Amino acid sequence: MNRYAIITAGGTGSRMHADIPKQFLLLNHLPVLMHTIKAFAPYTEIIWVTLPEQHIPYWQKLIQTYHFDIPHIIVKGGNTRFESVQNAVALLPENGWVAVHDGARPCVTQNLIHRCFLHASAHNNAVACIALNSSLRQKTKQGSKSVDRSDFWIVQTPQVFTCETLKLAYKQVYQPQFTDDASVVEHLGVPIECIQGDDNNIKITRPADLFLAQQILNAQ
């Protein structure tokens, strides 16, 4: 089956305290989003990139400035991540596998992408996750209580599903608990398969993350 990717790049990056969204900030002489697209290019037939409508012209200028020639299709984003992915999902073919990934995770390795597609092909889906390394407490009416952190995962992307499943999932009415694609698919009653992610697959949200991403890419 063919493999596809939807890369979501609709964030404004307000916590970065920058004049431009985080996906456009420079990382090792290229905008963050370009690193992310490059990682998926060897494994996918088509890449869709969701962008806020007002930022599409800026991205097109960046493509020219950096002579970025990896083919991808720009999709107008919505008011929420759900709407943005929904717009891209509507363009998917009926058959194949699709990985959904955060544009602000530029350190994703091709090994992780490959493992996600491979696991999904055998188990219907695959969601990259990592273990917690901090203690957890759960809020209660009395205050809080300790919980076993081994019962929990930190969810990452990529998240890989069949095109058929994702198209069906995104026909649902939006719910507040739809925080990622796995939660949307799970609402259909589909069991979610977690696989080991990568501690270096960080999401850039704060200025320090950009420095860390630079060190990770240099080490790779």
Q: Which residue has the higher pLDDT, 220 or 99?
A: 99
User: Full-prediction pTM beyond 0.75?
Assistant: yes
Q: Which residues pair with 102 in a beta bridge?
A: 8
Beta strand 97-102 pairing with 125-131: unpaired
pLDDT per residue over 165-187, tens digit each?
999 999 999 999 999 999 999 99
- CATH fourth-level superfamily of 3-219: Spore Coat Polysaccharide Biosynthesis Protein SpsA; Chain A (3.90.550.10)
Residue 6's pLDDT is what? Answer: 98
Per-position b or e across 30-43, b if 16+ CB within 10 A of its CB: bbbbbbbbebbeeb
The Cα 3–Cα 81 span in angstroms is 22
Encoded tokens for 202: 């960080």
pLDDT per residue over 111-150, tens digit each?
999 999 999 999 999 999 999 888 888 899 888 988 888 8
Where exactly are the structural domains of the chain? 3-219
Please answer whether residues 8 and 198 qualify as being in contact, where contact means their C-beta atoms are separated by less than 8 angstroms. no
Encoded tokens for 171: 């026909």
The Cα 166–Cα 175 span in angstroms is 16
pLDDT per residue over 42-57, tens digit each?
999 999 999 999 999 9
The Cα 93–Cα 149 span in angstroms is 39
pLDDT per residue over 61-76, tens digit each?
999 999 999 999 999 9
